[in-house]
């Protein structure tokens, strides 16, 4: 059954306030032999002081050695088993552009591609056409009509777009049309279960009409579709934890992930300072805040150690504003590691602190991977434990058994 | 489903090189109050330096308090759930003497025993006859013919032998003939499932013919059979991790266990130095090496603390040869603990280090149980996590989810 059944039965209402501050891709690695990680290198007096009064540890997003994408990493943080609640690529791509998916939607990730006179794929990305061209071509594809479903074609970036079919009875179990190699024609979409036959036929009809509409648009003269996925039905954080939860997240992907678990999406400016202003403004309205900082990950993905350090320092400067609100529980961590030295997400567990009047302080000297690993009493623990720990420290979970 | 399904889907090919150095029975206990363990007592400058740059912890072979045999301990290290993939005693006994088992083989562990005139067991080990006698008696039993199966009778040591029946349709679900007590006759083998009826009949026919052939061979005038087991079908390490894996292990049992998971078995001399020479010679040919050192366990089983210390020191001297090969990932640990003070396997978790350019160093002062337990950021973790961790640090696992 559900992993959170136990917690769910124990939830008690309350007015305590919790903040989950996520620096995307926070975890790091030393750039050179004997050096510190990005977080260890950053000057973070406020986070260091907070860590000294917190229960700390190293948080594992999924399981040993597994590098998570943003989807499963956040699903874990929100308290859901990330292997059970997998979110398909089509849905994530739609969330990433802020497309408002509903329960009847079947989403897919699309690429514009190039095919030759014989219909064989010669470039899976159509020479990475400009985003402006992509927008124009998406507009053209919107002319496609399919029997019984509404069609949405939304540009993403360069050659990428999102296709959403909206209608009853659509199924995600269909094979991808992207052959993942050159010199062959795009594959037909095939049903992988009998109920998906109509969905596959609709996709093939869309692809055929697209081919016709794009035939004179070289190099973007065909499309490839993959990651067919329906909007997953997930119990909300209100269902599970009885929380009025709100997300402060400027980026569409994270707003989408937050909406997936039933959070309200607050309007916020783009800067880190704006996000904390948003928190202050809505402090009275919710009892759980997910505050997401994107650029720690972006600078890590760029491989720019110093720029990632600078983002962490900017977040640190906001900590006094957060603490002035007198939150009952604060968690500071990331969703996954993005060491600049790897310039990509990684499997390394995350530095983690949980502050509350009722936590047992581990008396760390500073907030960092080494300190959390060596002195954190939580040890290495799974991300799905975070929400129950927050709820407990907020005095929102009743006794189990008599 | 399988415990490694997640990992399996994420495997990406690569050329990185991994070494798993197993000192059998490495974990130990202090000999006297306030002393160090065998590893802590050994002078190991190279392992200490390596541990300083590694991610460390205490590895649990099976689960809390469980003392593993060599079979499950290695199955775990190779990344398989040791409770799901249990290897029967008959198969382990056959692997231990280097018998090349195939998929149609049913193996059993045999004892020569003594029965009196009434056919009642008076000594389950026939007075521990010599190995030479055992060999002669096995030769005698090879005369036995059974309908539709090929019969192998192989001496092990003293009163112990291995029986292998080879043929189609054999089943392992049959009861043991060893009554485990004196004053009763050997039990008949009974089918525990209907499909095993023929197998049980064949075993009973073998036992009857053996009784006849041995009737004048007092004290070894009968046999007892137990641990009926077929060669288990396991996915190979190549299936799961896409690895070209090789085993450097002089002892038959460990060669057999390595073959079970699809490793190539390299020809090596018997000494520790020979094994590292073998590693150097085959460095270009594989991307994963399992290097097994037996005598740490043997000396632990002997209860000889100082001799076990000496074996560890000999391994330490080889570490520079290993590091000179510039491996991408090195793990050094054992399969289980064998404290000299217990003179047997034990349940204590194992000192563990994982070195890689992409590991987060825990800055241990030395490689030992106390240091790994107190300062290792992995904490106490399950042995089945080892392979995913090695794969991750070798950059051989793709991102899970988008």
d(CA A68, CA A3): 19
User: How many angstroms away from the CA of B54 is the closest CA of chain A?
Assistant: 12
Rounded to whole angstroms, how far apart are CA atoms A73 and B225?
52
Query: Which residues on A lie below 8 Å from B389 (Cβ)?
Result: 64-65, 347
CB B106 within 8 A of CB B172: yes
Q: Are strands B105-115 and B222-230 parallel, antiparallel or unpaired?
A: antiparallel
Decide if A380 and B377 are in contact by the 8 Å CB cutoff.
yes
Residue pair A261/A78 in contact by the 8 Å Cβ criterion: yes
The candidate with the shortest Cα–Cα distance to A386, out of A83, A73, A2, A24, is A73
What are φ and ψ of residue A97, in 5° steps?
-105, 10
Element (H, E) at A121: strand A121-123
| Contact between A370 and B385 using a beta-carbon 8 Å cutoff | no
Contact A66 B385 (CB under 8 A): no
Partners of B398 on chain A (C-beta within 8 Å) are: 67
Closest-CA residue of chain B to A344:
B399
Minimal C-alpha gap between A102 and chain B (Å) = 20
CA–CA separation, A267 vs A262, rounded Å? Answer: 16
User: Best of A39, A65, A96, A228 to disrupt the B interface by mutation (most B CBs within 10 Å)?
Assistant: A65
- What are the residues of chain B with a beta carbon less than 8 Å away from any beta carbon of chain A? 6-7, 10, 358, 360-363, 375, 377-379, 381, 385, 388-393, 397-402
- Grouping H, G, I as helix, E, B as strand and the rest as coil, residue B67 is coil
Sign of the CA dihedral B120, B124, B128, B131? Answer: positive
Sheet containing strand A380-382, edge to edge, reads A264-265, A245-248, A288-293, A18-23, A329-333, A350-356, A55-60, A380-382
Out of A64, A69, A374, name the one closest to residue B399 (CB): A69
The answer to whether the beta carbons of residues A105 and A97 sit under 8 Å apart is no
In chain A, which residues have pLDDT < 50? 1-2
Q: Give Cβ neighbours of residue B271 (< 8 Å, ≥ 6 apart).
A: none
What backbone torsions phi and psi does residue B118 show, to the nearest 5 degrees? -85, 0
CB B311 within 8 A of CB B50: no
Interface of A with B (CB under 8 A): 29-30, 37, 58, 62-73, 82-83, 86-87, 89, 92-93, 227, 339, 341-342, 344-349, 369-370, 373-374, 379-380
Task: Give the pLDDT of residue A2.
Answer: 44
Strand ranges for A294-394 from DSSP E: 329-333, 350-356, 380-382
pLDDT of residue B3: 59
Chain B residues within 8 A of A66 when measuring between CB atoms: 6-7, 10, 388, 392, 397, 400
What is the ipTM score, two decimals?
A: 0.88
Strand blocks (E) in B252-321: 264-265, 288-293
Collect all residues with Cβ–Cβ distance below 8 Å to B218 and sequence separation of at least 6. Answer: B114
The two beta strands, A245-248 and A264-265, are parallel
CB count in 10 Å sphere of residue B36: 18
How would you class A321 by CB atoms within 10 Å of its CB: exposed for 0-12, middle for 13-18, buried for 19 or more?
middle
The verdict on a CB contact (< 8 Å) between B6 and A66 is: yes
State the alpha helices, DSSP H only, in A116-270: 131-141, 197-214, 237-241, 252-260
pLDDT (tens digit per residue) in A279-303: 999 999 999 999 999 999 999 999 9
Rounded to two decimals, the pTM is 0.90
Report pLDDT digits (tens) over A142-155: 999 999 999 999 99
C-beta separation of B174 from B200 below 8 A:
yes
State percent of chain A over pLDDT 70.
Answer: 99
Cβ contact, residue pair A71, B402, below 8 Å:
yes
Q: How many CB atoms lie within 10 A of CB B339?
A: 23
Q: What is the pLDDT of residue A4?
A: 72
Q: Tell me which residue of A258, A243, A346, A360 sits closest to A22, measured CA to CA.
A: A258
| pLDDT single digits (tens) A315-340 | 999 999 999 999 999 999 999 999 99
Interface test with B, best of A34, A36, A37, A66 (most B CBs within 10 A): A66
**Strand ranges (DSSP E) for B256-305?**
264-265, 288-293
What gap in Å lies between CA B239 and CA B81, rounded to an integer? 16
CA distance A326 to chain B (A): 32
What's the CA gap between B38 and B253, in Å, rounded?
24
- The residue written with tokens 């056919």 in the block is B119
Q: How far is CA A77 from CA A68, A90, B65, in A?
A: 12, 21, 31
Q: Which of A71, A344, A374 sits opposite B362 (nearest CB)?
A: A374
* N residues, chain A: 402
Q: Is B341 exposed, middle or buried (0-12, 13-18, 19+ CB in 10 A)?
A: middle
**Residue A32 neighbours by CB under 8 Å, 6+ apart:** none
- Cα–Cα distance between B98 and B322 in angstroms, integer? 28
Q: Kindly report the average pLDDT of chain B as a whole number.
A: 95
In the beta sheet, which residues pair with residue A11? A397
Alpha-carbon distance of B277 to B280, in angstroms, equals 5
- Angstrom distance (rounded) from CA B245 to CA B200: 38
Q: Nearest CA of chain A to the CA of B293: how many Å?
A: 26
- Closest residue in chain B to residue A257, using alpha carbons only: B402
Backbone phi, then psi, for A230, in 5-degree steps?
-95, 155
Query: How far is Cα A319 from Cα A296, in angstroms, rounded to an integer?
Result: 16
What residues in B contact A336, CB-CB < 8 Å? none
d(CA A320, CA B354): 39
Sequence-distant (≥ 6) Cβ neighbours of residue A385 within 8 angstroms: none
Question: How far A26 CA lies from chain B's nearest CA (Å)?
Answer: 14
Q: List chain B residues with CB under 8 Å of A30.
A: 360-361
Chain B nearest CA to A249, separation (Å): 18
Stretches where chain B sits below pLDDT 70 are 1-3
- CB–CB of B398 and A65 under 8 A? no
CB pairs under 8 A between A and B: 89
- Considering only CB atoms, which chain A residues are within 8 Å of B6? 62-63, 66, 83
Which residues 6+ apart lie within 8 Å of B380 measured at CB? B57, B58, B59, B60, B349, B373
Among A66, A93, A370, select the one facing B400 at the smallest CB separation. Answer: A66
Q: State the first-to-last Cα distance of chain B, in angstroms, to the nearest integer.
A: 22
| B-interface mutation test, from A64, A76, A92, A300, most B Cβ less than 10 A away | A64
Q: What is the pLDDT of residues B362-386, one digit of tens each?
A: 999 999 999 999 999 999 999 999 9
CB contact under 8 A, A29 and B358: yes
pLDDT of residue B323: 98
* Residue B14 structure tokens: 């690569």
Q: Are B105 and B166 in contact (CB under 8 A)?
A: yes
Contact between chains at A65 and B6 (C-beta distance less than 8 A): no
CB A344 within 8 A of CB A29: no
List, as one string, the DSSP characters of B112-159: EEEE-TTS-EEETTTTT--HHHHHHHHHHHTT--BTTBEEEEEEEETT
| Cα of A325 to nearest chain B Cα, Å | 33
A347/B381 touch (CB, cutoff 8 Å), yes or no:
no
């Amino acid at each position: 059954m559900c992993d959170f059944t136990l917690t769910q039965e124990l939830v008690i209402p309350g007015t305590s306030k919790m903040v989950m501050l996520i620096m995307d891709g926070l975890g790091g690695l030393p750039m050179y032999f004997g050096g510190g990680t990005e977080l260890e290198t950053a000057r973070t007096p406020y986070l260091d002081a907070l860590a000294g009064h917190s229960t700390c540890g190293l948080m594992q997003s999924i399981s040993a050695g597994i590098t998570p994408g943003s989807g499963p990493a956040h699903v874990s943080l929100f308290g859901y088993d990330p292997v059970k609640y997998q979110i398909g690529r089509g849905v994530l791509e739609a969330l990433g552009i802020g497309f408002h998916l509903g329960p009847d939607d079947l989403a897919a990730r699309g690429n514009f591609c190039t095919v030759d006179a014989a219909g064989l794929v010669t470039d899976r990305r159509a020479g990475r056409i400009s985003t402006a061209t992509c927008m124009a071509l998406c507009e053209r594809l919107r002319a496609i009509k399919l029997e019984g479903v509404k069609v949405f074609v939304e540009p993403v970036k360069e050659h990428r777009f999102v296709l959403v079919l909206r209608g009853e009875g659509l199924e995600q179990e269909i094979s991808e049309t992207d052959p993942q190699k050159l010199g062959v024609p795009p594959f037909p979409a095939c049903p992988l279960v009998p109920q998906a036959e109509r969905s596959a036929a609709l996709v093939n009809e869309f692809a055929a009409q697209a081919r016709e509409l794009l035939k004179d648009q070289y190099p973007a003269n065909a499309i490839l579709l993959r990651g067919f996925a329906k909007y997953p039905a997930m119990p909300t954080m209100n269902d599970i934890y009885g929380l009025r939860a709100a997300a402060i997240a400027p980026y569409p992907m994270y707003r989408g992930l937050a909406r997936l678990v039933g959070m309200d999406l607050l309007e916020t400016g783009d800067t880190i300072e704006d996000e904390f202003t948003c928190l202050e403004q809505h402090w009275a309205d919710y009892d759980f805040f997910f505050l997401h900082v994107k650029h720690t990950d972006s600078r890590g993905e760029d491989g720019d150690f110093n720029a990632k350090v600078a983002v962490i320092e900017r977040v640190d400067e906001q900590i006094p504003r957060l603490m002035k609100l007198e939150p009952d529980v604060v968690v500071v961590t990331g969703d996954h590691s993005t060491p600049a030295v790897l310039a990509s997400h990684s499997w390394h567990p995350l530095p983690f602190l949980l502050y509350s009047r009722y936590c047992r302080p581990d008396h760390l000297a500073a907030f960092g991977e080494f300190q959390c690993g060596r002195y954190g009493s939580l040890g290495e623990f799974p991300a799905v434990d975070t929400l129950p720990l927050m709820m407990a420290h907020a005095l929102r979970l009743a006794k189990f058994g008599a």
